[in-house]
């Protein structure tokens, strides 16, 4: 079994060979906790979770590290373009940046748990690793990759000959894009495209003393280099993130880390495509996004959401629409219904399931081996469900065979994490609940969407989840 992964660095699929036999170091860029992560962010986090799960399924021991950015920093070095999101949000809500960060860190961890993501091996906070960042900056200064001006420190991109190897960007292209960017911060730099490692700012709400100034804070990129090095070493196997992080963030990380150590830093770079919403890029700045809580408030489940988000190959541009989400929910229901049917098979007779089971296992692993092709893996599961239902209908599946299929689905689920069977006692519907469901159906028929949404919320509070489709509405207990 050979796992092949697409490496952004080489722009091709490569056989996966870790630095240490059967051990994998995996780093994922985590959230800046100034507000709730949206579902587009979670596409990146879920992709990394599935990658980690499949590596473990394949016998590897994985150390997965992902940071929490709980300090303010400019999203760009240009003061006119950059914005300290954490500080701005804290001022708006009239609380300290630390309190804001801790609140949304808790929200993020709660969302991870809801989405059945495996616990991280380490989740370092940026504010607790200022020393490591400063030490790496000192090394970069000593090696000639950085320079200090007026208490701030910048990375000298021209000093790193391999800058741009991940994205294909050249220094010449960066120079061409420099027109019109003559700000006060840029005047301190040797070149416009150099980026900040440490910013001198006595007025910043979150600041630390450094060898270069009394009050300052780290640049946008240094935290990931410093923390990944601390927890995974100077060289590790895989770094993941969204495609929008390739440049400048990941290019800067490479320049910092390899500039400091003189060694190749990461073997495999893996990037997921964007999650679009109704054809447009999902963005916190624009405001066209959903959070996990938004989806739960609409009466959906985290299980449905996870199933949907990992259904497409991670390198495929994914368009989120409620219609597509509803279709995905119906597909998930078919699998869960089949899983329930298997439990009810009690026949002691002969079973003809052996061929379907071996075929499904082989094809599932072949799909996942080929750059984590979850879309093809889902197709394998749907085929197994179709074949299994035929065996049940034709009386060709005994209890032992049903258990073998169920066990295989459970094995697949260690990778996908979506088919958990929750044992819940079925409760009879009260007259009140029956009336609420009937009233909501009437509201939908008359296109009274406000009443329909209100009744959905009331039903949810009473433990009933409602799903809508062009064929009508269905409900189930939470």
* Each residue's pLDDT tens digit, 42-54: 999 999 999 999 9
Nearest to 421, CA basis, from 361, 345, 341: 341
Q: What separation in angstroms does the CA of 435 have from each of 2, 175, 432, 441, 457?
A: 56, 67, 5, 10, 14
**Tens digits of per-residue pLDDT, 243-257?**
999 999 999 999 999
Neighbours of 426 (CB within 10 A): 7
pLDDT digits 0-9 by tens, 80-138: 344 577 777 777 888 888 888 999 999 999 999 999 999 999 999 999 999 999 999 99
Band of the pLDDT at 259, cuts 50, 70, 90? very high
pLDDT at site 51:
99
User: How far is the C-alpha of 371 from the C-alpha of 269, rounded, in Å?
Assistant: 12
For the chain, the maximum distance between any two Cα atoms, rounded to a whole number of angstroms, is 83
Nearest Cα to Cα of residue 364 among 339, 382, 338, 352: 382
* Neighbour tally for 411: CB within 10 Å: 12
* 453's tokens: 């949404």
Residue with the larger pLDDT of the pair 448 and 176: 448
Query: Count of CB atoms within 10 A of residue 470's CB?
Result: 7
* Fold assignment, 4-272: Rossmann fold (3.40.50)
Sequence ranges of the domains in the chain: 4-272, 293-416, 431-477
**CATH architecture of the region 293-416:** Up-down Bundle (1.20)
pLDDT in tens, 5-37: 999 999 999 999 999 999 999 999 999 998 889
pLDDT score for 177: 52
Cα 254 to Cα 48, 213, 284, 404: the distances in Å are 20, 26, 27, 47
pLDDT at 182: 44
Residue 237, helix vs strand vs coil: strand
Tens-place pLDDT, residues 313-338: 999 999 999 899 999 999 999 999 99
**pLDDT tens digit string along 370-414?**
999 999 999 999 999 999 999 999 999 999 999 999 999 999 999
């Amino acid at each position: 079994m050979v796992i092949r992964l697409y490496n952004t660095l080489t722009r091709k699929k490569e056989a996966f060979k870790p630095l240490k036999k059967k051990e994998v170091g995996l780093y994922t860029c985590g959230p800046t906790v100034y507000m709730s992560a949206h579902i587009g962010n979670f596409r990146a986090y879920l992709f990394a979770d599935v990658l980690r799960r499949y590596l473990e399924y394949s016998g590897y021991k994985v150390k997965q590290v992902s940071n929490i950015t709980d300090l303010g920093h400019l999203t760009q070095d240009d003061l006119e373009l950059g914005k300290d999101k954490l500080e701005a949000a804290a001022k708006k809500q009239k609380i300290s940046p630390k309190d804001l960060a801790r609140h949304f860190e808790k929200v993020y961890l709660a969302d991870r748990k809801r989405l059945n993501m495996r616990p991280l091996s380490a989740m370092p906070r940026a504010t607790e690793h200022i020393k490591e960042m400063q030490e790496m900056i000192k090394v970069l200064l000593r090696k000639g990759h950085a320079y200090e001006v007026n208490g701030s420190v910048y990375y000298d991109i021209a000093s790193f000959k391999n800058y741009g190897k991940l994205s294909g960007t050249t220094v010449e292209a960066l120079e061409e894009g420099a027109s019109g960017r003559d700000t006060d911060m840029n005047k301190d730099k040797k070149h416009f495209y150099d980026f900040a490692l440490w910013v001198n700012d006595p007025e910043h709400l979150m600041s630390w003393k450094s060898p270069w100034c009394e009050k300052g804070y780290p640049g946008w990129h240094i935290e990931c280099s410093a923390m990944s090095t601390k927890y995974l070493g100077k060289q590790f196997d895989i770094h993941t993130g969204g495609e929008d992080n390739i440049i400048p963030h990941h290019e800067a990380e490479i320049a910092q880390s390899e500039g400091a150590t003189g060694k190749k830093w990461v073997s495999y770079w893996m990037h997921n495509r964007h999650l679009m919403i109704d054809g447009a890029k999902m963005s916190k700045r624009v405001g066209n996004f959903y959070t996990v809580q938004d989806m739960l408030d609409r009466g959906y489940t985290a299980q449905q959401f996870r199933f949907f988000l990992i259904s497409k190959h991670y390198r495929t541009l994914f368009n989120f629409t409620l219609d597509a989400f509803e279709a995905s929910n119906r597909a998930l229901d078919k699998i869960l219904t089949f899983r329930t049917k298997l439990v009810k098979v009690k026949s002691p007779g002969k079973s003809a399931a052996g061929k379907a089971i071996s075929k499904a296992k082989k094809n599932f692993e072949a799909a996942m081996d080929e750059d984590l092709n979850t879309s093809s893996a889902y197709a394998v599961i749907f085929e197994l469900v179709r074949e299994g239902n035929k065996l049940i209908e034709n009386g060709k599946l005994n209890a032992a065979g049903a258990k073998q299929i169920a066990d295989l689905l459970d094995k697949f689920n260690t990778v996908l994490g979506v088919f958990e069977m929750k044992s819940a006692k079925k409760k009879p519907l009260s007259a009140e609940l029956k009336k609420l469901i009937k009233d909501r159906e009437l509201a939908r028929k008359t296109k009274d969407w406000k009443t329909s949404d209100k009744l959905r919320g009331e039903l949810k509070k009473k433990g009933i989840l409602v799903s809508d489709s062009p064929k009508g509405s269905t409900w189930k207990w939470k």
